[in-house]
Chain A
Amino acid sequence: MTYLSPLIGLGLAVIAGSIMFTFLGKPPLAALYAYFIEPISELWSVHELLIKAAPLILMGAGLCVCYLSNNWNIGAEGQMVIGGMAGSILPVMFPEVVGPFLLPAMIIMGTLGGMAYAAIPALLKTKFKTNEILTSLMLVYIAQLFLDWTIRGPWRNPEGLNFPETRRFDAAARIPEMMPMDGRANWGFVIAIVVAIAIWVLMSRTMKGFQVKVIGASPRAARFAGFDDKKMVFFAFLIAGATAGLAGIIEVSGATGQMLPTISPGYGFTAIIVAFLGRLNPIGAIVAGLVLALTFLGGENAQVVLGVPDKAARVFQGLILFFVLACDTLILYKVRLAFGAAAPAKGGA
């Protein structure tokens, strides 16, 4: 049943989506075709799918560790932005530096950047008991505005005619494409798959993964086992931050080749859906990442073909999350309407 519920959720989201398109005055079947079939009917757009799936898979897998240990990091978006910026330091500020070490150095710096930014909510949670949902979310906006300022200010491309973008990266600073004949997909997708599998091994085979699950399932039992929940807060946030930072630099040096203020169309938030749709299992996140990448791509396509607003794609993603969570709840619990059961409370003491 646990593996069936995301499928039911997806099905219900498609039905609800069709109703939405009907109300928008678009033929629902044509809309669904534009969303889910057309984007994968041609090879070049399958490549686009892989490009979009890479950051979703990476962050979805990283967030699994957070959510399984009861750390509600919803700031992957910000961690991705900071990771992308940290990774871009070398090609933007030192464009004359090129060589075989450049790309690995960028990837490491991007990963560290994401980790450093994720460490902030972890520190606030362990030191001051602040709610990580709020802090990690607020840090997203800080990251986005910082990115915007940097690109419009110190990092602006000297040859860019005042457009808000950095200089284009040297070829040595780009992640190579896998099959340049057919499309743009780069090796970032493979990195994402490898990282997701590594996190799966971590979670299911190692002592550390066991700790994560114990702390999430039963904090008291975790204390009894001698597991340190504060260290776990850092561990979970740093893993998620590392995947987000990696996703950021893969996006910058793979897909776009320069830093833009709109580097992420909300991948970090969509990754939350990926984690849950994938049953908080990193392997599941691979599948879920592909599905949600399709909604991004389908959204762009539907915008062109049918003229529906691009926000329709976000609504679709939201529908998926709601239906999956609702399926989980309704499959495990029985709803019973009990009118008036709380009535004595009205008596007032």
Chain B
Amino acid sequence: MRGKALAKGEALLKLEGISKYYGSFKANDQISLEIQPGEIHALLGENGAGKSTLVKMLYGSLQPDEGEIFWQGQHVHIGNPAAARELGVGMVFLHFSLFDALTVAENVALAMPPGKSVGQVGRELKEISASYGLPLDPNARIHDLSVGERQRVEIVRCLLQHPKLIIMDEPTSVLTPQEAEDLFVVLRRLSAEGKAILYISHKLAEVQALCQEATILRHGKVVGECVPADETPISLAKMMVGADIHEVSSRELQVATGEVLMQIRDLNLKGDGGFDTDLHNVSFLLHKGEISGIAGIAGNGQSELFDALSGERTTDKESIVIKGENVGHLGIQKRRKMGAMFISEERLGHAAVPEFSLSENVILTRHGLEDKLNNGPFLSRGTARKVKDAIVHMFDVRKGSDDPTAQSLSGGNLQKFVLGREVMADAEIIIVNQPTWGVDAGSAANIRQTLVDLAEKGAAVLVVSQDLDELFEIADSIATLNEGSLSAFVPTKSTDRQKVGLQMTHDVAGTTSHQTAH
């Protein structure tokens, strides 16, 4: 409650009645908010609640239609991100905005005002990173860095601009538990130095541990302000969603008891480009009625594994077996016909065509399957719209118009749509990569519940995720993917977050990657 102790009028940032309209849709409706210097302030809300819109207005990439922004008591107009940086607003992005082929110092120099040499920036960077306990080598190339280190670059880049307010968008969603702890230490230290932090997250436990104040948004409005430590995760989630939020129903954990639906045998795959990871002798089994989880930090072969399992890249015939049949050489649509469904990590531009309507995106993966989506060579747009309506209804997809483009949906809603599209038909095998990446708590809970229900109904589910909490919540057994090698699956009951977290960063030589699971 340090913030409240300060005299009125000393707020670092004060928003009064901020509104933003898109046509008749109110993305932000009369939002008022105060952030004191040195405060870690949480911004909570479901996807589509208006968090991103609000943050974009603070960072100057959007202009409010109504309302006023006060910075240190002064009425300000933030015309663009450069103006925001000048005021002292810095931002660390959820999706990294770094150039892979450039060095750390070059990336940082790109964001700095002109006039400084890369060498100079490098020295400053080294100084500041060391003083905050964020060690970085200015000459390292980005593609050689782990995800945690890349985030460090983003944070240091932000700190070099000497911000008074740092906006962080879901910073821990890519970190191991250990890395997240390190980050919290840095954030607490920044707060102690008087820098305010606006912390956007859907991980309620960490908001409770870290933040002194929280503002909760729902449907573009502020629905509550609270001190997170005084609340429970359930009560916070309730405020965000506006209804009771269900914990994923617990069920009897199954380990290697069901019939084998899919088998991976000594799968080897070369990385696609220069920065990709090769897969080495990956072997495991997927059993009926079980959820298998693969943990690991992004960039350790997850997308290569997904491509090979889905058939987007074909492999040796025998490497992948679905229901007793060798399918390594078959394409994705043939595997779908055998009852396997795939949900990719990237929603826009992979699982869905951004500029196509939802009904067209139904056709994208369901064509040629059991639905009557085509009439000979002709498309049945009417059927596609009916399927779209059914998905929207069953999975509670919220959208602005009847058949909007995929890119106009919020991340959570699009993910619900994509998941619904794949599992509407009784899928027997479900392969999903990062199911709740960038998805809000309400939608994430729905998505996890759907996966659990599917397993209950007898599907074999493989969840590849960086979110350990998620895996421990729903998976029956867990393995770790590290530099393209997969460890053996162990029952979730007999391991814990610390052990798996260590495995995620462990030297490859130490893992038992070459053993067949189970």
Q: Is A344 positioned at the interface, with any CB of B under 8 Å from its CB?
A: yes
> In the assembled complex, which residues on chain A have CB atoms less than 8 Å from the CB atom of B336?
226
Q: Is B117 positioned at the interface, with any CB of A under 8 Å from its CB?
A: yes
Out of A206, A217, A220, which one reaches B378, CB within 8 Å? A206
Q: Is B53 positioned at the interface, with any CB of A under 8 Å from its CB?
A: no
Q: Are B105 and A217 in contact (CB under 8 A)?
A: no
A264 to chain B, nearest CB (A): 33
Which A residue's beta carbon lies closest to that of B120? A347
> In the assembled complex, which residues on chain A have CB atoms less than 8 Å from the CB atom of B379?
205-207, 210
Q: Is B344 positioned at the interface, with any CB of A under 8 Å from its CB?
A: yes
Out of A223, A343, A344, which one reaches B121, CB within 8 Å? A344
Q: Are B119 and A347 in contact (CB under 8 A)?
A: yes
Q: Mark B328-371 against chain A: 1 for CB-CB distance below 8 A, else 0.
A: 00011110100000101010011111111000100111010000
Interface centre among A226, A340, A343 (most CB of B within 10 A): A226
> In the assembled complex, which residues on chain B have CB atoms less than 8 Å from the CB atom of A217?
353-356
Q: Is B212 positioned at the interface, with any CB of A under 8 Å from its CB?
A: no
A78 to chain B, nearest CB (A): 30
Out of A208, A214, A349, which one reaches B118, CB within 8 Å? A349
Out of A214, A345, A347, A348, which one reaches B364, CB within 8 Å? A214
Out of A208, A221, A228, A347, which one reaches B377, CB within 8 Å? A208
Q: Are B110 and A224 in contact (CB under 8 A)?
A: no
B interface, by DSSP: helix, strand, loop or mixed? mixed
Q: Are A347 and B354 in contact (CB under 8 A)?
A: no
The B-contacting residues of A in range 331-348, CB under 8 angstroms, are 340-345, 347-348
Q: Are B351 and A218 in contact (CB under 8 A)?
A: no
> In the assembled complex, which residues on chain B have CB atoms less than 8 Å from the CB atom of A345?
109-110
Known A-B contacts A207-B377, A207-B378; the reply to A225 vs B333 at CB < 8 A is yes
Q: Are A341 and B114 in contact (CB under 8 A)?
A: yes
Q: Are A210 and B360 in contact (CB under 8 A)?
A: yes
Q: Bound complex: CA of A170 vs CA of B20, how far in Å?
A: 73
Q: Is B106 positioned at the interface, with any CB of A under 8 Å from its CB?
A: yes
Interface bracket on B: 35 or more
Q: Bound complex: CA of A55 vs CA of B332, how far in Å?
A: 40
Out of B110, B333, B363, B367, which one reaches A344, CB within 8 Å? B110
Q: Is B274 positioned at the interface, with any CB of A under 8 Å from its CB?
A: no
> In the assembled complex, which residues on chain A have CB atoms less than 8 Å from the CB atom of B436?
none
Q: Bound complex: CA of A348 vs CA of B116, how far in Å?
A: 10
B16 to chain A, nearest CB (A): 29
> In the assembled complex, which residues on chain B have CB atoms less than 8 Å from the CB atom of A214?
353, 356, 364
B409 to chain A, nearest CB (A): 15
The B-contacting residues of A in range 112-160, CB under 8 angstroms, are none
Q: Which residues of B contact A (CB under 8 A)?
A: 103, 105-106, 109-110, 112, 114-121, 310-312, 331-334, 336, 342, 344, 346, 349-356, 360, 363-365, 367, 374, 377-379
Give me 21 A-to-B residue pairs in the complex whose CB atoms sit less than 8 angstroms apart, sorted by A's number: A205-B379, A206-B378, A217-B356, A220-B349, A221-B350, A221-B351, A221-B353, A223-B312, A224-B312, A224-B332, A224-B350, A224-B351, A225-B333, A226-B333, A228-B331, A344-B109, A344-B110, A344-B116, A344-B118, A345-B109, A347-B118
Enumerate the 3 nearest inter-chain pairs by beta-carbon distance, A residue then B residue, closest first. Answer: A343-B114, A226-B333, A347-B117
Given contacts A210-B363, A214-B364, 19 further A-B contacts (CB under 8 A): A205-B379, A206-B377, A217-B353, A217-B354, A217-B355, A218-B354, A220-B346, A221-B353, A224-B310, A224-B332, A224-B350, A224-B351, A224-B365, A226-B334, A343-B114, A344-B121, A345-B110, A347-B109, A349-B103
